């Protein structure tokens, strides 16, 4: 053991000396004199408040009995936090879980909260006691069952919090991009409005001719027809901008460097603005071109704001659908819609690894009428594993089909595959092939329980090098 133990006083006592003390503990109330003898000699610790009696990583396992005082058991987590497992008082016992599960080392930290007197029993003596005393054995096994159940609930709760944190971080990232784009576009639109007003006022003061008004009307009509910037190659665009810039500068157009790229981007050529060159004198021609550039730019900025707001709305709708999946009432579920909502939530993870997503959705897949909940969690857990397993710039494929009256959903990655020794444990709780602190080993266990327990379906997998596919089969009522 490591830690603050310098003031811990240890002494060895015989099982017979211990008997009057442990008989006050519920677990040992009915123990016989001859049963306690199997313990032989045990160690009694007098530990002051704040002492560490078990450290994570300790190789020697013991069964512990709290005679006096109070101790606290916590499990350190990878994020430097800790999960409180239990607070134990006089009369409580602990340490049976790692002994009974065959753990090679402990993973918890146990410290005294008050001055305490604690007995520790080595592994051999513990097993002797378990084999000779049925009453103690039953109590120890009952304690183990309760603790494992409580620990699983704690871990599930922590898993939900971690997932929620990841989801929130991803959403903030997703919302930030369209939000920033809309903010930039709005600022530029404000500048354009000022320029348009200034130029329009100058036009009004100069009293434009009928020819000039007709030209401006034609230019405005053409500008309103524009939808999106024209797609051009880099070299083609550079050459067109250079030619347009040279022509505008020779014509004395102010801000030609700004006007030329805007006109070229929407496919305008010199002949498209020739009417303005002939209808306006040089100064007014410059104003006409700057007015046209501001108008076109403003329309593009409005489009950017619309796209940004649409993206934000899509994210909000996806989150609502994701959360709605937990409403416990009979309803129809659109499998494709459910998957798409989850993909929207996880989009940042796909982009982070530059993964290609291939979807093959069958049009024959019917809606599922059910009271089951948690499908979004199923897709999240399977896709999250697929993303982790995929190499950079890899591909994840999602396909749906109908087979034998069931809706089938396949999610495949092109990672290294699942090694043979891990395959039979893949759906077991707390089993994970990820590095320590990265995975809890509950994702596929949760997915399996939701598919089987909530929907009466089945989840299977096939694996080989460079391809692993999980298939969820859901019955259609």
Task: Look at residue 227 and tell me whether its pLDDT is greater than 60.
Answer: no
Based on the domain organization, do 301 and 342 belong to the same domain? no
* Nearest one of 375, 363, 311, 366 to 339, comparing CA atoms: 375
Question: Full-prediction pTM beyond 0.75?
Answer: no
Across all residues in the chain, what is the average pLDDT?
81
| Structural domain contains residue 373 | yes
Task: Look at residue 2 and tell me whether its pLDDT is greater than 50.
Answer: no
Based on the domain organization, do 358 and 469 belong to the same domain? yes
Position with higher pLDDT, 317 vs 109: 109
Based on the domain organization, do 270 and 339 belong to the same domain? no
Q: Which of 76, 109, 132 is the last residue of a domain?
A: 132
Domain containing 188 equals 169-309
Based on the domain organization, do 295 and 334 belong to the same domain? no
Based on the domain organization, do 39 and 100 belong to the same domain? yes
| Structural domain contains residue 150 | no
Task: Look at residue 105 and tell me whether its pLDDT is greater than 70.
Answer: yes
| Structural domain contains residue 160 | no
Q: Which two tokens stand for residue 244?
A: 């347009």
Task: Look at residue 318 and tell me whether its pLDDT is greater than 70.
Answer: no
- pLDDT score, position 442: 61
Residue 246 φ then ψ, to 5°: -65, -40
| Structural domain contains residue 340 | yes
Based on the domain organization, do 205 and 77 belong to the same domain? no
Tell me the pLDDT band of 159, cut-offs 50, 70 and 90.
low
| Structural domain contains residue 138 | no
Write out pLDDT tens, residues 381-398.
899 889 988 999 999 999
* Number of domains comprising the chain: 3
| Structural domain contains residue 289 | yes
Q: Which of 86, 109, 132 is the last residue of a domain?
A: 132
Kindly report the CATH number assigned to the domain that includes residue 99.
2.60.120.10
Based on the domain organization, do 261 and 300 belong to the same domain? yes
Based on the domain organization, do 433 and 338 belong to the same domain? yes
- pLDDT score, position 3: 43
Residue whose tokens read 């707390």: 430
Based on the domain organization, do 103 and 195 belong to the same domain? no
Distance of CA 108 to the CA centre of its chain: 27
Tell me the pLDDT band of 48, cut-offs 50, 70 and 90.
very high
Name the range with the highest mean pLDDT among 77-86, 290-299, 369-378: 290-299
Based on the domain organization, do 345 and 456 belong to the same domain? yes
- pLDDT score, position 437: 45
- pLDDT score, position 231: 55
Based on the domain organization, do 113 and 185 belong to the same domain? no
Name the range with the highest mean pLDDT among 93-97, 234-238, 251-255, 471-475: 471-475
Share of the chain above pLDDT 70, in %: 84
Based on the domain organization, do 381 and 462 belong to the same domain? yes
| Structural domain contains residue 316 | no
Write out pLDDT tens, residues 122-131.
888 888 888 8
139, 87 in Cβ contact below 8 A? no
Q: Which of 309, 341, 367 is the last residue of a domain?
A: 309
- pLDDT score, position 228: 57
Question: Mean of the pLDDT values across residues 59-74?
Answer: 90
Kindly report the CATH number assigned to the domain that includes residue 449.
3.30.565.10
């Amino acid at each position: 053991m490591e830690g603050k133990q310098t003031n811990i006083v240890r002494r060895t006592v015989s099982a017979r000396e211990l008997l009057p003390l442990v008989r006050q503990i519920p677990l040992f109330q009915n123990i016989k004199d001859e049963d306690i003898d199997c313990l032989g000699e045990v160690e009694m610790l007098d530990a002051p408040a704040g002492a560490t009696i078990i450290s994570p990583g300790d190789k020697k396992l013991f069964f512990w009995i709290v005679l006096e005082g109070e101790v606290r058991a916590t499990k350190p987590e990878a994020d430097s936090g800790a999960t409180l497992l239990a607070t134990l008082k006089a009369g409580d016992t602990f340490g049976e879980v790692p002994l009974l599960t065959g753990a090679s080392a402990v993973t918890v930290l146990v410290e005294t909260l008050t001055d305490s007197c604690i007995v520790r029993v080595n592994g051999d003596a513990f097993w002797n006691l378990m084999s000779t005393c049925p009453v103690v054995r039953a109590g120890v096994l009952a304690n183990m069952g309760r603790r494992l159940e409580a620990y699983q609930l704690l871990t599930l709760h922590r898993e939900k919090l971690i997932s929620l944190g990841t989801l929130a971080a991803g959403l903030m990232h997703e919302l930030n991009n369209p939000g920033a784009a809309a903010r930039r576009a709005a600022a530029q639109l404000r500048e354009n409005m000022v320029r348009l007003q200034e130029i329009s006022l100058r036009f009004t003061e100069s009293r434009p001719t009928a020819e000039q008004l007709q030209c401006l009307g034609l230019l405005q009509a053409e500008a309103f027809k524009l939808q999106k910037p024209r797609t051009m190659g880099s070299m083609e665009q550079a050459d067109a901008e250079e030619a347009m810039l040279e022509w505008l500068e020779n014509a004395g157009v102010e801000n030609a460097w700004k006007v030329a790229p805007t006109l070229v981007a929407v496919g305008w050529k010199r002949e498209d603005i020739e009417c303005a060159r002939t209808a306006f004198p040089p100064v007014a021609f410059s104003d006409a071109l700057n007015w046209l550039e501001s108008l076109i730019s403003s329309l593009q900025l409005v489009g950017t704001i619309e796209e940004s707001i649409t993206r934000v709305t899509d994210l909000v709708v996806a989150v609502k659908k994701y959360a709605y999946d937990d409403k416990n009432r009979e309803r129809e579920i659109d499998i494709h819609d459910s998957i798409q909502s989850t993909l929207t939530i996880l989009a940042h993870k796909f982009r982070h690894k530059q993964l290609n997503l291939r979807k093959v959705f069958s049009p024959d897949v019917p809606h599922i009428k059910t009271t089951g909940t948690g499908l979004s969690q199923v897709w999240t857990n399977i896709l999250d594993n697929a993303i982790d397993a995929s190499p950079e710039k890899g591909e994840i494929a999602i396909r749906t089909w109908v087979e034998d009256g069931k809706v089938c959903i396949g999610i495949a990655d092109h990672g290294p595959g699942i090694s043979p020794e891990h395959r039979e444990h893949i759906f077991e709780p707390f089993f994970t092939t990820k590095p320590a602190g990265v995975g809890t080993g509950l994702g596929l266990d949760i997915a399996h329980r939701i598919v089987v327990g909530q929907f009466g379906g089945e989840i299977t997998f096939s694996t080989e090098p460079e391809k692993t596919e999980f298939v969820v089969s859901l019955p259609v009522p």
